[in-house]
Each structure stands twice: as structure tokens, then as C-alpha cells.
Amino acid sequence: MMQPIHLFYPQLNNPSKIIIVSHQKPDGDAMGSSLGLYHFLIQLGHTVNVISPTNWANFLNWMPGVEHVIDFEKNQEKCNQLIQSANIIFCLDFNVLYRTKHVAPLIEAVNCIKILIDHHQEPQVDAFTYGISNTAKSSTCEMVYDFIVDSGNASTLNINIATCLYTGTMTDTGSFRFPSTTASVHKMVAHFKEIGLEHAIIHDNIYDNFLENRLRFIGFVLCNRLEVLYEYNTALMYVYKQDLYKYDIKTGDTEGLVNYLLTIEGIKFGAIVIDREEERKWSFRSKGNFDVNTFARLHFEGGGHKNASGGRTDDNVEDTVKRFKQTIKQYEQELQ
Ligand code: 5GP
Ligand code: MN
């Protein structure tokens, strides 16, 4: 059973072979927390390797240290060896091991210290030796900052750590606007500014760094793939494989698309399904009390947070959209 993370602090000073792993298709928070932790741990003399279960969005490729991140799908043998010989595995920004896709069985099989730092609901506590799970936290990046400070290592904070941790906090808080943006978040950012963080360039690198085709793709799907179900205060979008091919859409290009749905006045529930190679992947967002974590768990093999979650299905786009429309009928009251 997962022990409180502070019980691990004394071991931080024994140089170890450490692996850091986050969820598949890592987002800003997953990549930011992994690299922030990396820049911290190498200062303590550890041998650190960061593994991503899959590839990631191009807009993360400017991040300090990203050149050290190993894509599991492209280096399975090497990753396997690294995991076999690790003393400690840090698991960041996911609650259940299956979020690491094909890395999950390898983590499960090795007998070493496994540490969870995460802010999603219902963590798989039996899978970890130590950990901290706090759904009130804005981001895993903020939790890595707490980990560094609480373990007595605030003096190691440098510009690389600050840049990485700021990135994930910014992306997971919708640029500091979601309710999860607490005073602690702003205090952390103030601390980063004091050590020289340049925040404006980070926003540019993440949000203003796309190709023209992505903007045209967004225009296309907003015009052609959007349905507003006013009786349920719900907006729904579906993207076909042919749309992704037509506009040459890559990993990360569809991130944030779901947020457009909630910009419509009165809409409380936004749902988008994207036709991926091996599955149809849902993203759910809500405003207020409608709990999309539970919705994703119950109906689409997923989970996440109360106001942001995801899920999947093997059904084709038409069938899953049909089932979605059928399913929300039972939530008519809650969505009023
Ligand atoms: P996104 O829509 O940005 O991919 O995901 C929103 C949130 O839901 C993220 O916090 C993500 O970790 C979580 N999430 C997305 N897909 C899944 C899933 O299939 N299972 C679980 N448990 N969480 C998911
Ligand atoms: Mn996160």
C-alpha cells in the first residue's frame, strides 16, 4: 500500500538509478513535471532517465532537457533494460498504470521503489511504494515543486526546473484561469519569477507555434463537425480519420479543441471524439457541477478530473456518437 511521500525523503540523498515516466501522449503537465523532476534529481547525483510511453506534441520540443526523453515505442529494448536496472521509478501525472500503455506491464513486473506524484482521482494505490495524490492540486508540476521544497531542497531550484514546472502549471490551469489556480500556485510562480523565469516566451512556445494547416483544420471542424444539443446544454464534436489526414494533423494538434465547445454561452458539457489509429478517443470538459470523471468512467472506459476527463472506445465514430447522444439523455436534469 502506498506510503506517504515524506517517508521517502531520507532516501533522496542516496545516489540511485532513477526512471521517470508519465502517461502516454504526454501533455505539458506530464512533460513539464517529468523534466522539472529530472533537472532536480540530477543535481542530487542520481542517474536519471525519462521515458515517455509514446511520442509527444511538437510544441513541447523546445523544453529544456527534452532531448533526453526516450520514446518507449521507438526504443523498447533500451527502455526495458533501464527499467530492469532501476532502483526507483517515479510515476507522474497519471493515476492508473494502464495510462503508460505498453510500459505498464514492465513497471508492474519490476521490484523496485515506485513513487506516484499525481492529481487525478482514485489512484491505483496498491501499485506504488510511496506517493502523493492530491486532486486539489492544479497540476503535477505544482506537486513536484512541493516535493522539492518540502524535502528541503528549495536551494536546487534553477531556471530549467522553473521553466519546466511553469509550463505544466500553465497548461493544466488553462493559463491560470481554472478554479484549481490557488494562492499557492501564484506564490510558486512568484518564486519562479524571482529566480529569473521568463514566462511570456513559454506561452508563445506552447500556444503560438503551430502550422497554418492546424488553424484551417480547426476552422473546418468547427464548421462541419460540431453539434450543439441545446436541450442538454452540451456541445459535441467528432473528427474522422480522413479529416486528420486531409489537414496533416499530428499528435498535439487537436489538444485544446474541446475547450472551444465550452465557449458557447450556456454550454456546460463539451465532448469531442477523435478517430485515432487504434481507438476512438474521447475528451470531456464541463463547467460547474457536472462530473465528467464519473461520466467517463461509467460510459467510456476512462476517467480524469471532475471538469476534465477522457475515455476511449473500439466502436466507430458513428456508433460512439450515437451512444453518446443516447447516454446523455439520463443526465438531462443534471445538465440543466
Ligand atoms: P484529455 O482530454 O486532455 O486527453 O484528458 C483530460 C484528463 O483526463 C487528463 O487529466 C487525463 O489524464 C485524463 N484522461 C484522459 N483519458 C483518460 C483515460 O482513458 N483514462 C483515465 N483514467 N484518464 C484519462
Ligand atoms: Mn496533469
User: Which pLDDT score is estimated for 190?
Assistant: 98
Mean pLDDT, the chain, rounded, equals 97
Residue 66's Cα: distance from chain center in Å? 16
User: Which pLDDT score is estimated for 277?
Assistant: 87
Q: Which protein residues have a CB closer than 5 Å to ligand 2 (ion)?
A: 29, 93, 140, 172
**Residue with C-alpha cell 502549471?**
169
pLDDT-derived band of residue 297, with 50, 70 and 90 as boundaries? very high
Q: At what angle do helices 183-194 and 199-207 cross, to 10 degrees?
A: 110
**Residue with C-alpha cell 485515432?**
276
CA of 33 relative to ligand 2 center, distance in Å? 9
Mean pLDDT over 162-186 rounds to 97
* pLDDT over threshold 90, residue 216: yes
pTM for the predicted model, two decimal places: 0.94
User: Which pLDDT score is estimated for 80?
Assistant: 98
pLDDT in tens, 2-59: 999 999 999 999 999 999 999 999 999 999 999 999 999 999 999 999 999 999 999 9
* pLDDT over threshold 90, residue 173: yes
User: Which pLDDT score is estimated for 255?
Assistant: 92
DSSP β-bridge partners for residue 114: 89
Does residue 304's CB lie within 6 angstroms of at least one atom of ligand 1? yes
Q: In residues, how long is the chain?
A: 336
User: For residues 142 and 185, is the Cβ–Cβ distance under 8 A?
Assistant: yes
Q: What are phi and psi of 94, to 5 degrees?
A: -150, 155
User: Which pLDDT score is estimated for 244?
Assistant: 98
Q: How far apart (Å, rounded) are the C-alpha atoms in residues 161 and 188?
A: 12
CA of 302 relative to ligand 1 center, distance in Å? 7
Does residue 309's CB lie within 6 angstroms of at least one atom of ligand 1? yes
Q: What are phi and psi of 312, to 5 degrees?
A: -150, 165
In sequence order, the 6+-apart residues with CB closer than 8 A to the CB of 44 are: 12, 13, 15, 153, 156
* pLDDT over threshold 90, residue 306: yes
* Domains in the chain with CATH codes: 3-207 (3.90.1640.10), 212-331 (3.10.310.30)
pLDDT in tens, 263-289: 999 999 999 999 998 899 999 999 999
Mean pLDDT over 188-212 rounds to 97
Does residue 127's CB lie within 6 angstroms of at least one atom of ligand 1? no
Pick the residue whose CA is nearest to atom 13 on ligand 1.
304
pLDDT in tens, 63-122: 999 999 999 999 999 999 999 999 999 999 999 999 999 999 999 999 999 999 999 999
Q: How far apart (Å, rounded) are the C-alpha atoms in residues 43 and 41?
A: 5
User: Which pLDDT score is estimated for 251?
Assistant: 85
User: Which pLDDT score is estimated for 74?
Assistant: 98
pLDDT-derived band of residue 232, with 50, 70 and 90 as boundaries? very high
pLDDT > 70 in the chain, percent: 100
Q: How far apart (Å, rounded) are the C-alpha atoms in residues 139 and 115?
A: 17
Q: How far apart (Å, rounded) are the C-alpha atoms in residues 120 and 140?
A: 9
